Amino acid sequence: MLFNSSNNNIIITMKQLLRQITIVLVTVLMFNMNLLAQLPKESPEDKTKRMEWWTDARFGMFIHWGLYAEAARHEWVKKRERITDEDYQKYFEVFDPDLFDPNDWAKMAKNAGMKYAVITTKHHEGFCMFDSKFTDYKSVNTPYKKDIIKKWVQAFRDEGLKIGFYYSLIDWHHPDYTIDRVHPQSASTDEEYKELNKGRDMDKYRKYLKNQVKELLTNYGTVDIIWLDYSFPGKNGKGHEDWDSENLLKMVRELQPGIIVNDRLDLLDKKGGWDFTTPEQYKVSKWPEKNGGKVSWETCQTFSGSWGYYRDEASWKSPHQLIELLAESVSKGGNLLLNVGPTARGMFDYRAQDRLKAMGEWMKYNNRSIYGCTAAPAEYPIPDNCLLTYNPKTKRMYVHLLDYPMGALTLKGFEGKVKYARFLHDASEIKLTKPRHNVTHQESNEAGDIMLKLPVVKPNIEIPVIELFLK
């Protein structure tokens, strides 16, 4: 009730003050609850700069290692065989990788030509390879007793490799993680799900997940990459709300401003919600695009099909296929993250070692066609059975001969554009000839073509590469 004008003024001022205080309080509260979280803004140029080392590196090692290495029949064994926590416990009790020597692993990665490595700190099974304050389910509590990630980080950094952490958003061991369609105890009816999830509290799991990511990004120095895996929205699935992805990512960026983040947080339409896309176990048909623009990408691939060590798997890719996969990824502007699943004693399987060696042998002579390279400018047609990569800084083009031609190679549309040509592996000159018209025994007679004269015998290189100096 207002009695006179001066009282009136006072009451209005009081009202305004109260409103202001309420606004301030609500804002503070929302900030505390992280409801106003914004992902840091970044210009496209700054993003390119932040990701430059990764884009130039092109080749990294993925490592899937956990208790599932003991079962040795897929990292999803717990789900595939619907194993209960009690029955899975035996792997925890005997986990003791006595031959684990991360220095050896780091050397193998480096010798293969890899520039970075990403290791599973926790996979879907929920077992932590690092010493976390928030769980007992970790390597330090097994017979092995040590923080695996700590040793690994040190060794890989010492070899000059950049380091990345894979962390599974999914957790098949945490008691508060609700049972969903990919969980080992997945159900068939809504009723069953309801029953199974009584007492489980995703809010608690969200806190756990955030706390662990915080530990990983606080206790191990600079972390170059984080690989969060994965979202599966929809019925009985999980997406960004379940992980509180936006706030999680905000924390990640705050803790490690230079970090590079994959795209599995279910934030695909969010600006700043991811740095690169992750085609898994297939070859992209062309440079992936989003909203009409090319995006950074990295294909993750296995040697033999599964990610964790799988003793009886016989479907190992050949060195030729793997080198082709690497060159092809670069020829479409992407990276390759090639996976090793170490054994439960801490060794790389001999077949993995063989392939890493073969890739290293190739990379020793040909890495110039990989590092710092990307897709060739569109004006250069790709010759049959070849892959083109291009280094924009040195203006050199690399022709990868997937199927070695006999005596000559035609480059259509290259006339007048090449200064000099040579094999990359031994720097031996390759003669260029002009297109000859009216020849009977030369296939190429079109204007604009050039011919490279090649030895009939294929050089002793899995996939020979020709280096073209462009004008």
Residues in contact with ligand GLC by the rule CB under 6 A: 64, 75-76, 229-230, 280, 300, 307
Decide whether 64 or 173 has the Cβ nearer to ligand GLC.
64
Decide whether 307 or 423 has the Cβ nearer to ligand GLC.
307
Decide whether 55 or 231 has the Cβ nearer to ligand GLC.
231
Q: Concatenated DSSP letters for 419-470?
A: EEEEETTT--B-EEE---TT-SS-S---TT-EEEE--SSPPSSSS-EEEEEE
Strand partners, 266: none
Decide whether 89 or 281 has the Cβ nearer to ligand GLC.
281
Q: Which amino acid is at 5?
A: S
Q: Taking a C-beta distance cutoff of 8 angstroms, is the pair 229, 167 a contact?
A: yes
Q: DSSP label at 130?
A: S
Decide whether 123 or 400 has the Cβ nearer to ligand GLC.
123
Instruction: For residue 278, give Cα distances in angstroms to 153, 275, 336, 377.
Output: 23, 10, 10, 23
Decide whether 105 or 307 has the Cβ nearer to ligand GLC.
307
Paired tokens of 347:
């060794």
Angle between helices 350-366 and 102-112 (to 10 degrees): 40
Least Å distance, CB 229 to ligand GLC, is 5
Contacts 24+ apart (CB under 8 A), 327-330: 327/369, 327/370, 327/387, 327/389, 327/400, 327/463, 328/283, 328/387, 329/58, 329/283, 329/284, 329/299, 330/58, 330/369, 330/370, 330/373, 330/374, 330/375, 330/389
Least Å distance, CB 143 to ligand GLC, is 25
Least Å distance, CB 230 to ligand GLC, is 4
Paired tokens of 96:
């003791």
Paired tokens of 75:
């990292």
Least Å distance, CB 458 to ligand GLC, is 35
Least Å distance, CB 166 to ligand GLC, is 7
Question: Can you tell me the distance from the alpha carbon of 175 to that of 189, in angstroms, rounded to the nearest whole number?
Answer: 21
Least Å distance, CB 408 to ligand GLC, is 42
Least Å distance, CB 149 to ligand GLC, is 16
Decide whether 308 or 435 has the Cβ nearer to ligand GLC.
308
Least Å distance, CB 172 to ligand GLC, is 11
Q: Taking a C-beta distance cutoff of 8 angstroms, is the pair 106, 159 a contact?
A: yes
Element (H, E) at 167: strand 162-168
Decide whether 130 or 414 has the Cβ nearer to ligand GLC.
130
Chain position carrying tokens 């040509």: 421
